[in-house]
Amino acid sequence: MEHKQLVIGLFGFGVVGEGLYKILRQTPSLKANIKKVCIKHPGKKRNAPAELFTTDKDDLLNDPEINVIVEVINESGPAFEIVSTALKNGKDVVSASKKMIAENLPELLGLQQKTGRSFLYEAAACASIPVIRNLEEYYDNDLLHSIKAIVNGSTNFILTKIFEEGLDFKQALLLAQQLGFAESDPTLDVEGYDAVNKWVFLLTHAYGIVEEPGNILFNGIQNIHATDAKVAKEKNYNIKLVAQAKKLVNGKVAAFVLPQFVNHDDHLSFVKYEYNGVVIESGFADNQFFYGKGAGSFPTASAVLSDISALRYQYKYEYKKLYHHKPHELSNDIFLRVYVSFDDWDNIPKEKFEWIEEWHAQEERK
C-alpha cells in the first residue's frame, strides 16, 4: 500500500503541540508537514515562524489540502467542535484531549461510523504507553481477565512524595505544581476525574463498554490523611490511585477508580513519581506490565506522532470488542475489601458493609 502524504492542521501550540512541532522536524522520513497552527492568543511569543499561526479555525478545517487535523488544545467544548467538524469535512483526526473524548464518546463513535474517517487518541491515556492500540489489536475479549493501571501522573507523583519522602499532601501538591506535573487547578487530577475520564475509553477498547464517567465508581486522593499513610506503611503497603476493571464470574465487568493499598511486590508499586503503568492479566499469558511516562511534552507528542504515522496506512480503531463481539456489561455486583478512614461514625453508611474485619480508633481518626 502506498503511504499517504500527510498535510497537518494543528490545533494548540502548548506543551503537547509545540512538542509535536519539534519532533516532526526531527522525523523527515514520516513525510508529514504542518501547514497551519491554530491557537487562541495571537499575542504570545512562539518558537516557530509567525506565518504558520492563525486564530481562525476555518483556515484549517476548510483547507482541502489539509488531510489530518491534530487537536491538542486544553478546552473540552471547542475541542469537540473542532474534532467533529474535521471528521465531517473528511479529515482524519488525532487528539490527546481525554476529557473531551470521555464526555462525548457515543457521539464520537457515531461520527467515526458515519464519516469512515480515522480518529486516533493514543496520547489521551498514559501518554507514551501504547495501551489503546494494544487493547484494540492484541487482547481478545475472552482472554482479558483484568486490567489495572496508574493512569494519572500528578496523583502518583504526590503519593510517591508522601510515601517515599514523608511530605504532607499540601507540600507534595505544591511541588508537583512547581515541577509542572500538576495543573494550577489540580481538582481534575486530585479528585480522580482525569483518571476516570481515561478509564472510560480504555474500557471501550478493553471490553466494549461505553459508559459515562459519572456511572463509574471513582474517588481521588483528596481525603487521604497522614494517618492513613501511616497505617499503610505499618502494613507494608503503598497507596496508589488505581483504575481497575475485572471480569466477574457472571461474565459482566466491574470497573472503578479508587485509591488502593498496593503490596510492595505488585507491579504497580514499582510505578513512581509522574510515571504511569498498566498491568494486564490475560488467559495463558499471565500478567503483562506496561510502564512509561504518562505526561510531558515529548512523551505525549511521541504518542501523537505514532498515531500520525499510523494514518499513513489508513489505520482506524475498529472497536472490535464493541462491534465484533458481544460487548460486556458493567456491573456493581461485587464486594470490595475496603479500608474506611473517618472521624464520625454517624457519617458512615453502615448498611452498605457486610462485616468489619479489623477496627482501629485513635483520637481524631477511626
Amino acid at 172: A
Catalytic pick among 99, 148, 198, 240: 198
Nearer to ligand NAP, 126 or 262 (CB): 126
Q: How far is the CB of 338 from ligand NAP (least distance, A)?
A: 30
Rounded to the nearest 10 degrees, the angle between the axes of helix 169-178 and helix 153-165 is 130
* Position of minimal CB gap to ligand NAP: 14
Q: How far is the CB of 74 from ligand NAP (least distance, A)?
A: 4
Q: How far is the CB of 158 from ligand NAP (least distance, A)?
A: 16
Nearer to ligand NAP, 261 or 275 (CB): 275
Backbone angles phi, psi at 118, to 5 degrees: -85, 140
Q: State whether the Cα torsion 87-121-174-179 is positive or negative.
A: negative
Query: In the annotation, is 198 catalytic?
Result: yes
Q: How far is CA 91 from CA 16, 87, 122, 245, in A?
A: 21, 5, 18, 34
Q: How far is the CB of 361 from ligand NAP (least distance, A)?
A: 42
Strands 286-293 and 237-247, by their bridges, are unpaired
Q: How far is the CB of 159 from ligand NAP (least distance, A)?
A: 18
Rounded CA-CA distance 319/208 in Å is 7
Rounded to the nearest 10 degrees, the angle between the axes of helix 105-115 and helix 193-207 is 40
Site residues (CB under 6 A) for ligand NAP? Answer: 11-17, 38-41, 44, 72-75, 78, 96-98, 123-124, 127, 295-296, 300
Nearer to ligand NAP, 121 or 169 (CB): 121
Nearer to ligand NAP, 38 or 216 (CB): 38
Yes or no: say if 158 and 274 are a contact pair by the CB < 8 Å rule: no
Nearer to ligand NAP, 66 or 253 (CB): 66
Question: Residue 60: which of 33, 36, 31, 79 has the closest Cα?
Answer: 36
Rounded CA-CA distance 299/42 in Å is 26
The residues assigned a catalytic role are 198
